[in-house]
């Protein structure tokens, strides 16, 4: 698997994380011993030891920032903590989602006994009805949504999509297995349809205005063609 580099300077490298790849191995992760993490891939391909500035779930594809020195991490993290980085994700969800919605619903933190404030802005971009039955209906409906999290809770976008009864396709934990099965059987798409598409921020060291975009994986490109949806990153 080859690394896709989106941006690089002396402070950070911004790369595309594929679906089903860990950012790094951790004690609590269900690691496969010979599984290559994103940090290992960067080391192999670029010869760089890098440090994550933020998180992406294993099953989420898309843009991630990695610092080249530990001393650079905190300045970038301050931007995330102050909500000064605009994060834009894209998802494919079950049903016809609302045109716009603010989802304001607490999400469990890493300490599962504590719920924390979580806010997500949702905007529906495209919709489709397929003449493919999914129980209990004779057809199936899907929406392409833009998701902008204003907080950074674990699994926030996945939980919030489920909360409004429009779960993400391919989400084994919070999704709808009947629709996931249909996507697999009819199209061969097995991955979760959640993609970290872009980050917009002011570089804390150079003051440069940054707008970085991660191209969609091949499943997404195939879906856009099948559903006749425009690529929102074009």
Task: Name the residue with higher pLDDT: 130 or 110.
Answer: 130
Count H helices, E strands: the chain?
5, 12
Backbone angles phi, psi at 224, to 5 degrees: -55, -40
Is the distance from CB of 194 to CB of 175 less than 8 angstroms?
no
219 among known catalytic residues: no
What does the chain come to in residues? 234
Using 50, 70 and 90 to split pLDDT, how confident is the model at 111? low
> What is the rounded CA–CA span in Å between residue 223 and residue 191?
12
pLDDT in tens, 69-97: 999 999 999 999 999 999 999 999 999 99
- Report pTM: 0.94
| Strand 194-202 with 61-67, pairing | parallel
**How many CB atoms sit inside 10 A of residue 150's CB?**
16
d(C-alpha 7, C-alpha 14), whole Å:
5
Collect all residues with Cβ–Cβ distance below 8 Å to 122 and sequence separation of at least 6: 97, 98, 100, 101, 102, 103, 145, 146, 147, 148, 160, 164
Of the listed 34, 57, 111, 171, which one is catalytic?
A: 57
Instruction: Decide: residue 128, CB within 10 A, 0-12 exposed, 13-18 middle, 19+ buried.
Output: middle
pLDDT in tens, 131-157: 999 999 999 999 999 999 999 888 999
Give the whole-angstrom CA distance, residue 207 versus residue 175: 40
The answer to whether residue 33 scores a pLDDT higher than 80 is: no
pLDDT tens per residue, range 174-225: 999 999 999 999 999 999 999 999 999 999 999 999 999 999 999 999 999 9
Query: Which CA distances in Å does 58 have to 25, 55, 95, 143, 154?
Result: 11, 9, 25, 23, 12
Q: Spell out the domains of the chain, with CATH numbers in brackets.
A: 4-227 (3.30.2350.10)
Closest residue by Cα to residue 91 from 160, 5, 177, 40: 160
């Amino acid at each position: 698997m080859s690394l896709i580099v989106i941006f690089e300077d002396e402070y950070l490298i911004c790369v595309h994380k594929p679906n089903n790849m860990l950012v790094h191995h951790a004690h609590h992760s269900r690691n496969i011993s010979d599984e290559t993490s994103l940090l290992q891939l960067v080391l192999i391909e670029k010869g760089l030891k890098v440090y994550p500035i933020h998180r992406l779930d294993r099953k989420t594809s898309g843009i991630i920032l990695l610092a080249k020195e530990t001393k650079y991490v905190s300045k970038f993290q301050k931007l995330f903590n102050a909500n000064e980085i605009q994060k834009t994700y894209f998802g494919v969800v079950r049903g016809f989602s609302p045109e716009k919605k603010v989802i304001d619903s607490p999400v469990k933190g890493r300490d599962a006994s504590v719920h924390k404030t979580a806010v997500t802005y949702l905007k529906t971009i495209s919709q489709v009805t397929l003449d493919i039955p999914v129980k209990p209906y004779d057809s199936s409906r899907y929406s392409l949504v833009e998701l902008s999290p204003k907080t950074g809770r674990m699994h926030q976008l996945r939980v919030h999509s489920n909360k409004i009864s429009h779960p993400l396709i391919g989400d084994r934990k919070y999704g709808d297995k009947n629709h996931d099965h249909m996507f697999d059987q009819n199209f061969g798409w097995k991955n979760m349809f959640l993609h970290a598409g872009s980050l917009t921020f002011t570089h804390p060291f150079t003051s440069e205005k940054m707008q970085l975009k991660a191209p969609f994986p091949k499943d997404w490109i195939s879906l856009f063609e099948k559903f006749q949806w425009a690529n929102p990153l074009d």
